[in-house]
Chain A
């Protein structure tokens, strides 16, 4: 069956909430990944994902296509939920408690992966929150500037400027970091 998002949403808004499963299937990984890239903590990302999709289901009748895409609407819920969550928690996740369930067979690989993650995360922490968010949204989340604009409320031009300046800044600094990461492998 061809996925027609607008039809599915309209069907949900008429009370056929079972159709929500189709929307869920299309966005579950994207939203989970979005949350993971900002929390670096699997369990937190899962908890927040549950909250977000519950909110989306309960409020699907409020979505208005004239105000933006469904994708952006969903990401906005994710962003706001993340903000609420961060207010209740420490700003920096404890990396020791984050991440992988230890695999006895791949302990070395797990440690190496965690170190790389720490390095990447440490570098990203040196960027401002706005710069970090723009880079992660563009490169890791794979969102378009249009979607980013709808999510953040900033203009596409402003987002492009932010991204380009960040990339410029990174050109000298991050290469050094990545060389270090390569040496650690």
Chain B
């Protein structure tokens, strides 16, 4: 019996009178079936979702109706849930602390620790709406350690590493993060010149990666949330309540705070600020601060700082397998080298170590030309790691996009210092023209550059294949700042998006 007959049979069983209108009814139902929309079911979407669900299934703990901790009828005080959280997650941490690396929990206890890439059709992300994120500053709104002793909600704080300004900002400007005698004056204009070898872009299509949000299943917490009564208000009287983030901390000297964003799967570790009260933090006047002010010689060598960072990662099961060789963010040294009065430069007590992310063999950079990935901060006063951020499951969707193959255009963009065509500085007629300083660019390599694609509701991290031109002729001449690399995206969509109003 076909579909129409089945539908008609139901109607007749309800009201035999319908049989008299069978011809008309058949027409109506046939038309309805014929006008059934093409739902554009995408097998790639289905496959991608299936994989994500099975990954989630792998880490789910068995829960049956018999072994719920909490009955739906029971109301629970918040302290009970907190205890559960401490037991569930604190146990894992304590086990790691006491394991002597013999019974260490695998870093994939929650996540697999690997980079997972789902291949989608071309242009799957639509138009890449990439905005200027402020010269490489981190616009990621996912988990950031809270330096104020914990608390919920993701922070929009910028990255701790401050990158050098690009050539377009070589006008009268304060050096980032420092006061004192750091004005860049007299005015100089950097002009880049390509000095590398000839090259071609062979592939007309390149792969863009978009980072997926990786919500963490609330698991047993979901059950607890569904039946909680705090006393002050009854959570059970609300609907569709879900856990958004977790934060907890070590209650001991130099203990840590942990933050987990359940919605996007990002995590952060930071100092439990109240337990990191070194003498300098107790200062309330300038004299006291000056007493504890660090000198350049107080900062350990890069190798020692990296060793501290690597030791922390190993001790606490943080997978380094997806990251390349560590580098120390030494912007303060550059400022020191350029300053006319070094005594005015404030030496930081926290040094940042960056472990660059590597995706399918390509290193990830930010737009300012610095490698980016896992950030580990080391407090040099106590020689301990004070924070780790950009921790998350590394799931990406991959999609092909049209590549810019016009090498001349790409080199021209590189020689302007940025694909964004920022206004070139100029002096008004009659005024002293800026001195032009030519800086060489070396042969590029193709790597990935992290951008943020903005939608109405959020921003999404995308990794775009780009040419990375090393800046040659680095100088410590006073007032001269330029990046280590100039990055030019290879995706035509992104280049076109970067157009800025040119004022010449």
Contacts and interface: CB of A to CB of B under 8 A. Distances in A.
Contact of A139 (B32, B40, B49): B32
Interface in A24-41: 24-25, 28-29, 32-33, 36-37, 40
A111 interface: no
Contact of B28 (A54, A62, A175): A175
B10 A24 contact: no
A20 B53 contact: yes
A131 interface: no
Given A21-B50, A135-B32, A167-B25, A113 B38 contact: yes
B27 A175 contact: yes
B238 interface: no
Given A37-B39, A160-B14, A24 B32 contact: no
A6 interface: no
B429 interface: no
Contact of A164 (B15, B49, B52): B15
A140 B14 contact: no
Given A57-B53, A57-B60, A167-B11, A174 B28 contact: yes
Contacts of A181: 35
Contacts of B98: none
Secondary structure of the A side of the interface?
A: helix
Contacts of A99: 40
B56 interface: yes
B65 A117 contact: no
Interface in B10-30: 10-11, 13-15, 18, 21, 24-25, 27-29
Where chain B touches its partner, the secondary structure class is helix
B21 A171 contact: yes
B145 to A, nearest CB: 28
B37 interface: yes
A122 to B, nearest CB: 12
Nearest to A33: B39
Contacts of A7: none
Contacts of B33: 139-140
Nearest to B24: A171
Given A13-B64, A84-B240, A164-B18, A57 B49 contact: no
A17 interface: yes
Contacts of B53: 20-21, 24, 53-54, 57
B7 interface: yes
Contacts of B41: 29, 32-33, 36
Closest 9 CB pairs of A and B: A15-B62, A17-B57, A36-B39, A160-B14, A178-B31, A139-B32, A120-B35, A33-B39, A140-B36
Interface of B: 3, 7, 10-11, 13-15, 18, 21, 24-25, 27-29, 31-33, 35-42, 45-46, 49-50, 52-54, 56-58, 60-65, 215, 217-219, 222, 240
